[in-house]
Amino acid sequence: MSLAAVIATLLGVSLTAYALFAGADFGAGILDLLAADRGADRGAIAASIGPVWEANHVWLIFSITILFSAFPVAFSALGTALLAPLTVALVAIVLRSVALGLRGSPATPVRIQVRLSRLFGAASFVAPLAFGAVAGALAEVSSSSNVTASGVPHIPWTGAFALLTGLLAVGLCAQLASTFVALGLVRSQERRLAERFRLRGLQSGVGVLLLGLAAPAVAAISAPTVWHKLVGPALPLLIVGVGAEALSLLTLWRRHYRLARGACLITAAAVMWGWFVSQAPHLIGPRLTIHTAAATHAALVSIAIAGGIVLLLVLPAMYLLFAVFARPELEVTE
Amino acid sequence: MNPLPLAAISHLTAGRSQIGTSLSFHLFFAVLGVGLPLMMLVAEGMHLRTGDPVWRALARRWSKVFAVLFAVGAASGTIISFELGLLFPRFMAYAGGIIGLPFSLEGAAFFIEAIFVGIYLYGWNRLSPRVHWLSGIPIAISAVASAFFIVTANAWMNVPRGFQIVHGRVTHVDPLAAMFNPAWATETSHMVFGAYLATAFGIAAVYAVGMLRGRRDAYHRKAIAVALSMAAILAPLQVAVGDLLGRTVANHQPATLAAIEGVTHTERGAGLNVGGFPLPGHNGDVLNVKVPHLLSLLAFDNPKAPVRGLDTFPKADRTPLAPYVRLAFIGMVGIGTGLVALSLWYWLRRRRGSNGPEDRVTLMAIAAAGPAAFVANELGWLVSELGRQPWIVYGVFRTSSGITTSPGLGATFTAFTLLYVGLTALTLWSVRRIASTPVEGLPTAALGVA
Ligand code: HDD
Ligand code: HEM
Ligand code: HEM
């Protein structure tokens, strides 16, 4: 495996971590939007996000950093061709995290909290929609033949296939969050409340399953290059994804929440890697691959080392965070 | 007709203004992000040592403010990471592979910081006091580390090293040489001291305002004392490092030096312009006092050394906004001098009495010094960024060659400017709400309020 491929894999891992963890956080925002005025639901959702959000969100920053250090030309092309949808995603992420931060402040009055909640929910919906659409559109043009003068094809992020992948991302986020919240509630013996999130999980799961099954069909009609990959190298991942989704629905139905959450995580990971495989080794358009867009060897070496340091430091620290967060509060001495 | 008021400005100006606005906004939070963790550690550590609940109340209060600022800081930092690619993609295509190392290491620092911020903020009631205090240490360290790494990248933009250009392509990249370019040490330490200094004076200012409003209690006195002890050490250091940074500029960025010091024509044994405001229509001599030979001495350790004037550079390479660079520089140095004077005054007076001066004038000066120290940071960055123009990478890559070819920057600039206005309003409002909730965990006696 070449060094560029190693780093591209690292990028894939980092993006997958973002999709799984931040995906669940986005999903929490979507559920929050659906929870309307039910305070108990809100509380359960908020408790599942807690302090972990900022840390989850760093995976995105890390992915961007790897992308622009290791594949600067591709980063540049992405920024130019996707200025609009990425700006939309960016604004959504910012509004989301600010709304969440301020809403959580004990000093914020209830009336404002309600508005911030709505903003938080809407932004949580828009961000995965935009990211999913961008991913679908990138897969669609990865071996396209009509390239513009700049070497980058027009990227159809508003096309039919992009809409499908955008919605798929939204559905996955919602389902991930439902399983996380439901499991948390069952653990703290709040079974009645958990039922509501089970229902949400089933609803979004059915949506995900339908979209997943529709993907090859829509690709066949409107994105032939993706179709070839989906029935070719990406087929195993498609099968794993659909299978895990079916399992997740089944286990959710039978109230095996742990299994349901695991299966749902596998579905999301399979979708991400299905995307990578459908466009590997292309980063954007047919010309910019992980080899043609790579920085110099010395730069790649330094990034691989820095990436290794990140994993060494971050994984134990992450573990610590989750462990502390899972602890009950001590007696408050004030 | 264009519905967007800012959409009429040129493509390049829109892009520069957008990234400049974003960075200036981020800097405010970054400065507190570097400085507050240290202050929290000090206050919580004092609580562990003395058991005095006032210290714990201070630490808790600051950590609440920090939580809000961290959320906005992270959001605004994310904006910049994207904007580098969205606004200056051709610069990133060029530089990404050279300064990727500090950026990736910064990613590691962010991770550690964000994780421990989670542990610290949610750990007040979940961890023992000692472990909780320990969990604050990685925050303080990684905040400094992230500032360090990002500023080495900026130092590279000022003094680019560690690569060659062959046939228009970047080759022979040496990431370590790029990161440890000749400006790294002075620029990073000036930034980190600047952040600590602004946080210290900022905190002192908040409590000075409280005292001016009649809240003269242990809580306020302790806060001011701890902040001003840090400030007293840092302010002179910052001026000294600033002088070293000035030499770095003198040696590697001659056009920037000329703009900073207001040197229009080359001078041998150049004098230092003290004052010399660059008002339009005056030749940079408003209220000027020229100290003979001092500039040559300060910049090159030689009273006879020549200092190149701006007019010796080809028109295309002259710093286009030189008067503003000069104004920003005068502002920064003026504030720096003022901060040193104020901390000296406070500690000289404090040694006699035990409480430190609490007269109205001193308190008002402290109240003004807080915002001024933040302004000094912003001005310093204007000196650095405007002073580098027309280059995005000094001497090798022009800002105009780095801007995106994608249209619509007028619209994104308008949108982001509105976003920042909204964010600023929301943050200020939220911090004020926190400040106006009563201090918890303290018996009223400790507050000594009448
Ligand atoms: C509290 C903040 C503060 C204070 C009191 C000072 N500075 Fe400063 N200065 C900064 C905060 C700052 C900064 C914001 O941190 C900058 C921007 C870039 C950098 O590395 O530091 C900066 C930049 C900066 C530069 C430009 C470097 C470049 O082009 O990259 C010079 C020459 C100085 N400083 C010199 C001084 C001197 C001689 C001071 C003496 C009074 C001084 N500074 C006080
Ligand atoms: C947080 C403190 C900073 C502030 C307040 C700041 C301010 C600014 C301003 C005002 C501009 C516009 C200059 C002009 O075009 O006339 C600018 C441009 C820019 N800055 Fe900074 N900057 C900061 C730190 C940094 C750092 C640390 C980096 C890089 C690692 C950086 C990278 C850039 C780039 C790439 C541009 C666009 C190109 C250019 O105009 O030179 N800045 N910044
Ligand atoms: C002198 C300039 C800068 C300093 C001192 C600085 C420092 C910091 C600090 C201390 C934080 C932690 C957040 C907080 O506490 O508010 C932060 C966050 C962040 N900064 Fe900056 N920064 C600077 C410039 C930049 C630039 C140029 C970029 C873009 C590449 C950037 C990207 C980020 C990002 C992505 C975050 C969020 C990280 C997280 O989620 O923890 N910063 N910065």
Q: In 10 A of CB B437, how many CB atoms? A: 12
Name the one residue in this structure whose structure tokens are 């602004």: B198
Cα A15 to ligand 2 centre (Å): 27
Residue of B nearest to A323 (CA): B119
Nearest to A321 among B106, B115, B405 (CB): B115
A80·B404 Cβ contact <8 A: yes
pLDDT in tens, A291-303: 777 777 877 888 8
Q: Does A86 touch chain B (CB under 8 A)?
A: yes
The answer to whether residues B23 and B386 touch, using CB atoms and an 8 Å cutoff, is no
Give residue A148's pLDDT. 64
Q: Name which residue leads in pLDDT, A229 or B306.
A: A229
Answer yes or no: is pLDDT of A309 > 80.
yes
**Residue B293, C-beta contacts closer than 8 angstroms, at least 6 positions apart:** B269, B270, B271, B303, B304
| Residue (of B49, B52, B380) closest to B219 by Cα position | B52
The answer to whether residues A19 and A104 touch, using CB atoms and an 8 Å cutoff, is no
Query: In the numeric block, which tokens belong to residue B35?
Result: 């400085």
In this structure, the residue with its CA closest to atom 16 of ligand 2 is B386
The answer to whether residues A143 and A225 touch, using CB atoms and an 8 Å cutoff, is yes
B192 lines ligand 1 (CB under 6 A): no
Name the least confident of A100-104, A319-323, B70-74, B216-220. Answer: A100-104
B295 lines ligand 1 (CB under 6 A): no
The answer to whether residues B270 and B333 touch, using CB atoms and an 8 Å cutoff, is no
Which residues in B lie closer than 8 A to residue A105 (C-beta atoms)? 64, 67-68, 430, 433-434
Helix, strand, coil percentages for chain B (3-state, nearest 5): 70, 5, 20
Cα B196 to ligand 1 centre (Å): 13
Cα A195 to ligand 2 centre (Å): 51
Q: Does A94 touch chain B (CB under 8 A)?
A: yes
What secondary structure letter does DSSP report for B311? G
Q: Is A47 exposed, middle or buried (0-12, 13-18, 19+ CB in 10 A)?
A: middle
Looking at mean pLDDT, say which of A204-213, A314-323, B85-94 comes out highest. Answer: A204-213
Q: Quick one: average pLDDT of A260-278?
A: 87
- From the centroid of its chain, how far is CA A80? 22
Q: Is B73 exposed, middle or buried (0-12, 13-18, 19+ CB in 10 A)?
A: buried
**Taking chain B (450 residues) in consecutive chunks of 10 residues, what is each chunk's mean pLDDT?**
48 80 89 91 88 84 83 84 80 80 87 86 82 90 93 90 79 82 88 93 88 79 84 88 84 79 72 71 65 68 72 76 82 90 83 68 87 92 88 80 71 80 80 67 40
**Residue A277, C-beta contacts closer than 8 angstroms, at least 6 positions apart:** A229, A233, A234, A237
Q: Which of B111, B146, B196 to mutate to test the pocket of ligand 3 (most atoms within 8 A of CB)?
A: B146
Q: In 10 A of CB B401, how many CB atoms? A: 14
B405·A87 Cβ contact <8 A: no
Give residue A333's pLDDT. 45
Give residue A44's pLDDT. 73
In this structure, the residue with its CA closest to atom 40 of ligand 2 is B16
| Residue (of B174, B169, B152) closest to B98 by Cα position | B174
The answer to whether residues A171 and A208 touch, using CB atoms and an 8 Å cutoff, is yes
pLDDT in tens, A115-156: 888 888 899 999 999 999 888 888 777 766 666 656 666 777
| Ligand having the closest approach to the CA of B382 | 2
In this structure, the residue with its CA closest to atom 5 of ligand 2 is B24
| Residue (of B413, B409, B391) closest to B400 by Cα position | B391
Ligand 3 contacts (CB < 6 A) are: A 54, 57-58, 61; B 26-27, 29-30, 33-34, 69-70, 73-74, 77-78, 80-81, 84, 110, 113-114, 143, 146-147, 150-151, 191
Query: In the numeric block, which tokens belong to residue A167?
Result: 């919605």
**Residue B374, C-beta contacts closer than 8 angstroms, at least 6 positions apart:** B28, B31, B198, B202
Residue B290 — φ and ψ, nearest 5°?
Answer: -100, 120
The interface residues of chain A toward chain B in range 161-190, judged by CB-CB distance below 8 A, are: none
Q: How far apart are CA A236 and CA A178, in angstroms?
A: 26
The interface residues of chain A toward chain B in range 12-31, judged by CB-CB distance below 8 A, are: none
Give residue B445's pLDDT. 39
Q: How far apart are CA B146 and CA B144, in angstroms?
A: 6
Q: Is B164 exposed, middle or buried (0-12, 13-18, 19+ CB in 10 A)?
A: exposed
B107·A318 Cβ contact <8 A: no
Nearest to B426 among A54, A98, A317 (CB): A98
Instruction: Tell me the whole-structure pTM to 2 decimals.
Output: 0.85
What secondary structure letter does DSSP report for A189? T
**Residue A91, C-beta contacts closer than 8 angstroms, at least 6 positions apart:** B415, B419
Give residue B3's pLDDT. 41
Residue of A nearest to B57 (CA): A334
Q: Provide long-range contacts, Cβ within 8 A and 24+ apart, for B425-431.
A: B426/A98, B426/A102, B427/A102, B427/B68, B427/B69, B427/B72, B430/A102, B430/A105, B430/A107, B430/A108, B430/B68, B431/B65, B431/B68, B431/B69
Give residue B443's pLDDT. 44
Give residue B335's pLDDT. 92
Which residues in B lie closer than 8 A to residue A69 (C-beta atoms)? 96-97, 99-101, 103-104
Q: Is the peptide bond before B390 cis (omega within 30 degrees of 0)?
A: yes
The answer to whether residues B234 and B196 touch, using CB atoms and an 8 Å cutoff, is yes
Coil, helix or strand for A283? strand
Nearest to B100 among A60, A302, A324 (CB): A302
> What residue type is assigned to position A283 of the chain?
L
B36 lines ligand 1 (CB under 6 A): no
**Residue A232, C-beta contacts closer than 8 angstroms, at least 6 positions apart:** none
Q: In what helix (H) or strand (E) does residue A70 lie, and over which residues does it extend?
A: helix A52-70
Coil, helix or strand for B315? helix
Sign of the dihedral defined by the CA atoms of residues A179, A181, A186, A192, in that order = negative
| Residue (of A89, A87, A184) closest to A130 by Cα position | A89
Give residue B199's pLDDT. 92
B85·A68 Cβ contact <8 A: yes
Which residues in B lie closer than 8 A to residue A303 (C-beta atoms)? 100-101, 104
Q: Is B418 exposed, middle or buried (0-12, 13-18, 19+ CB in 10 A)?
A: exposed
B86·A86 Cβ contact <8 A: yes
Q: Quick one: average pLDDT of A223-251?
A: 84
Cα A308 to ligand 2 centre (Å): 29
Query: In the numeric block, which tokens belong to residue B190?
Result: 């000036």
**Residue A312, C-beta contacts closer than 8 angstroms, at least 6 positions apart:** none
| Residues making up chain B, counted from first to last | 450
Shortest distance between the Cα of B61 and any Cα of chain A, in A, equals: 12
Cα B419 to ligand 1 centre (Å): 28
Which residues in B lie closer than 8 A to residue A328 (C-beta atoms)? 126
Give residue B167's pLDDT. 77
B126·A302 Cβ contact <8 A: no
The interface predicted TM-score (ipTM) is 0.82
A75·B104 Cβ contact <8 A: no
Nearest to A320 among B67, B119, B433 (CB): B119
Q: How far apart are CA B70 and CA B76, in angstroms?
A: 10
Cα B149 to ligand 1 centre (Å): 17
B335 lines ligand 1 (CB under 6 A): yes
Residue of B nearest to A80 (CA): B406
B104·A150 Cβ contact <8 A: no
Q: Provide long-range contacts, Cβ within 8 A and 24+ apart, for A185-188.
A: A185/A44, A186/A255, A186/A257
> What residue type is assigned to position A62 of the chain?
F
Give residue B4's pLDDT. 44
**Residue A114, C-beta contacts closer than 8 angstroms, at least 6 positions apart:** none
The answer to whether residues A219 and A161 touch, using CB atoms and an 8 Å cutoff, is yes
